[in-house]
Structure formats: C-alpha cells, structure tokens
C-alpha cells in the first residue's frame, strides 16, 4: 500500500514467463498440442537466466509524471484548465496523492465575511502561497494504491526510497548496484553506498567535485539534489548496520 511518489522495489530472481504457454486443457486443442506446449516450456526455461536479479516495482507513482494521475485530476476538474500547471498540481505540488497539503484536498467552505466558497486551509496561507481553488472537489487525495505480492524464496531484498533516488537511477540500476555492493561487501550498508553514489552523480551533473558539493550549505544543497531517504531490507535474514 502506498501514497505519494516514494517507491518500493523488490529484487528477485528471474523466472520464465509461462503465461503464454500454460492454458486450461480444454483450450489446448485450439492452439497447440501437448507436445508443443512441453517444448515451449522447455525453451522458456532454457532462455531464462534464473540467476539474474530482476527489479519489480510494487508501488504506483502518485505524481504528475504519471499520465493516469494527470488524467484523473483533469477529468475531476473540467472547469479548471490550470489544475495541472507547469507539471504540478495547481502549479504547486508534484505529488498527486499525499497526507497533509490540506489546502489542495479539503472541500471548500463558506468563510465568514466572504460570499465565495473557499478552502479554509488555502485561506489560512499567506496570499503569495494560495492557489486559485476552482469548484468544490479536492485536487489531491490520500487514497492509497494497494498491491498484493506473496513473498517467496526467489525474493532477495526490498528497496524503500523517496523519489530523489530515482532522479539518478532506474529501478534496474538500483537493484544491480545493491547486488554488486552486497556481494563484494556483505557486512557494509548498501543504503549508505547508494546515498554516496547520489552525491557523486549530483556533483558530476552540477559540474563540481564531490567534496565541493559537500561544502555547500545544507539549505542551498536543495539546488543540486533532493533530500533522499533509503531503507534496504534483506529478505534472506541479513542485517545491515543502518539506513541512509
């Protein structure tokens, strides 16, 4: 279950995809003989590298980078052409589902002394931060995405991280880096390793050295990289020292 744009990525050993060759017996005569099905299953096993770790994203992206989320918000606010502005909800927030941010999700109320319906939390903000609230429906929601996954022996570790990690890595790259690092340094913390790699990539992207980036004041560092939280959970009973 998730809300927001953080991700849960599961690393598990690859297995052959047999959905196209396994079918109920009553349908087999329509497509292929049993012997052909057996050969196809054997071929799938031969072609699948079951030692390879595969990245499986268990969460849904709740941000304006997700087309389904943008379409949902626009369909709920047909009377507001600026519901998505500059890649953000009302030009303010990239996430489309979240806890908090009441100024974008509460139903507008009649404010004392005003003839217009306004959301009270939006009204409570300084004028420069307020949004032009159109209609009576909330712009964002905290309704979660739910997915079931049955853990098995092929599942190796789970990566929980905020979106800042994925500004520099794909899901597959993250899994590959963690696998390589833990194979070489089994007693070290892969979360700290990833945070170090993020800083290296952020520094390179900004055209500066790693230590030069570290010398930038904490508040000013947001110009170069987002705050990132990373937790890596072993599903094989390993205990790493910490998370980053």
Which 3-state string (H, E, C) describes 132-191?
Answer: CCCCCCCCCECCCECCCCCCCCCEEEEEEECHHHHHCCCHHHHHHHHHHHHHHCCCCCHH
pLDDT at 102: 82
Kindly tell me if the per-residue pLDDT of 140 is higher than 80. Answer: yes
pLDDT at 50: 55
Residue scoring higher pLDDT (14 or 34):
14
Kindly tell me if the per-residue pLDDT of 202 is higher than 90. Answer: no
Mean pLDDT of 83-97: 94
Kindly tell me if the per-residue pLDDT of 45 is higher than 80. Answer: no
pLDDT at 40: 54
- Distance from C-alpha of 178 to C-alpha of 116, rounded to nearest angstrom: 54
Structure tokens at 60: 């849904």
* 229 Cβ contact list (under 8 Å, min separation 6): 6, 161, 162, 243, 244
pLDDT at 228: 87
Cβ atoms of residues 21 and 41 within 8 Å: yes
pLDDT at 128: 64
Residue scoring higher pLDDT (127 or 92):
92
* 149 Cβ contact list (under 8 Å, min separation 6): 10, 56, 58
* 47 Cβ contact list (under 8 Å, min separation 6): 16
Cβ atoms of residues 172 and 30 within 8 Å: no
Burial letters 197-213, b for 16+ CB under 10 A, else e:
bbbeebbeeeeeeeeeb
* 228 Cβ contact list (under 8 Å, min separation 6): 161, 162, 164, 165, 195, 198, 244
- Distance from C-alpha of 216 to C-alpha of 218, rounded to nearest angstrom: 6
Burial letters 97-107, b for 16+ CB under 10 A, else e:
bbeebebbbee
Cβ atoms of residues 150 and 58 within 8 Å: no
pLDDT at 30: 52
pLDDT at 19: 56
Mean pLDDT of 154-174: 94
Report the candidate in 140, 37, 164 with the shortest Cα–Cα distance to residue 83: 140
Task: Return mean pLDDT, the chain.
Answer: 81
């Amino acid at each position: 279950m998730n809300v927001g744009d953080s991700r849960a990525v599961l690393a598990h050993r690859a297995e052959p995809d047999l959905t196209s060759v396994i079918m109920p017996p009553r349908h087999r005569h329509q497509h292929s003989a049993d012997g052909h099905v057996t050969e196809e299953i054997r071929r799938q096993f031969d072609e699948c590298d079951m030692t390879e770790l595969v990245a499986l994203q268990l969460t849904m992206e709740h941000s304006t980078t997700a087309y389904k989320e943008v379409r949902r918000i626009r369909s709920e606010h047909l009377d507001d052409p600026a519901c998505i502005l500059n890649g953000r909800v009302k030009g303010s927030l990239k996430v489309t589902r979240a806890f908090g941010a009441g100024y974008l999700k509460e139903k507008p109320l009649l404010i004392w002394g005003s003839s217009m319906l306004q959301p009270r939390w939006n009204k409570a903000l300084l004028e420069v931060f307020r949004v032009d609230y159109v209609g009576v429906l909330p712009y964002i929601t905290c309704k979660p995405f739910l997915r079931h996954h049955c853990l098995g022996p092929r599942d190796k570790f789970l990566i929980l991280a905020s979106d800042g990690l994925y500004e520099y890595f794909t899901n597959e790259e993250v899994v590959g880096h963690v696998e390589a690092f833990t194979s070489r340094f089994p007693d070290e913390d892969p979360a700290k390793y990833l945070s170090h790699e993020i800083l290296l990539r952020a520094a390179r992207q900004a055209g500066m050295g790693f230590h030069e980036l570290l010398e930038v004041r904490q508040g000013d560092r947001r110009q170069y990289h987002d705050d990132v939280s990373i937790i890596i959970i072993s599903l094989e009973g390993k205990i790493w020292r910490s998370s980053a």
